[in-house]
Amino acid sequence: MTADSPQAAPSKGRFDWLHVSLITLLVIIVSVLLTIWVIKTYIFPTEFEPVTLSSSEQQVLDKKIEALEFDTTGRLNPEKYSEQGAERKVAFSEKELNALLASNTDLARKFAVDLSENLVSAKLLVPMDEDFPVFGGKTLKFRAGVEFAYRDARPVVVLKGLSIMGVPMPNAWLGGLKNIDLVQEFGNEAGFWKAFSDGVEHISVQEGELLVELKE
């Protein structure tokens, strides 16, 4: 071979083999990571972190609880009934609602509430019985969203959706109730939704806050 001879080209077969090997290795790594993420997120989701309040926030919540006359002492004193001066508004922040759940430690780690504009969202972890088909012994994560608002002088309650393990449930499986105003649909009939509508003066859900005002 002379100095002017062209250099030998790399083996095409060797290049193809290295190329395929690297792609195969990458696919295996991505598949393993994706499997671990799916198992951790949906099959065995971690429990939620309970919400804790600062000392001043806890004092505010305690006053609200007292105003609603939740009994924490187990003792009652005789008292004449009166509605004079009674507070008909109930207001809680998202943090306060989750802190109330934290008073039940087990529930706080399995249920969490989010408040945004006209929307109440919830996450729930449900341990399945060992005898349950396919998912026996596993913990399923449920997510749901419900619109709460007040329009045209009446409350509005709309189921926005329900997901299980990140998969949205079909409307048919939810009884056709998705994106339907339940108060408008059933509020003209005697029953829960009519009674609920007739008793609410105003309802508002904003970023991080829930407010409900009841009629006399």
Predicted confidence (pLDDT) at residue 73 exceeds the cutoff of 60:
no
CA distances (Å), origin 97, targets 28, 58, 112, 200: 44, 12, 9, 20
140 in a domain, yes or no?
Answer: yes
Q: How far apart are CA 25 and CA 216, in angstroms?
A: 69
138 in a domain, yes or no?
Answer: yes
Average pLDDT estimate for 113-133: 85
Predicted model pTM: 0.63
79 in a domain, yes or no?
Answer: no
Give the side-chain half-sphere CA count within 13 A for 75: 2
39 in a domain, yes or no?
Answer: no
124 in a domain, yes or no?
Answer: yes
Percent of the chain with pLDDT over 70: 66
Predicted confidence (pLDDT) at residue 145 exceeds the cutoff of 60:
yes
Q: How confident is the model at residue 181 (pLDDT cuts 50, 70, 90)?
A: very high
169 in a domain, yes or no?
Answer: yes
148 in a domain, yes or no?
Answer: yes
Q: Number of structural domains, the chain? A: 1
80 in a domain, yes or no?
Answer: no
Mean pLDDT, the chain, integer: 76
Which residue range is the domain that position 152 belongs to?
55-71+87-214
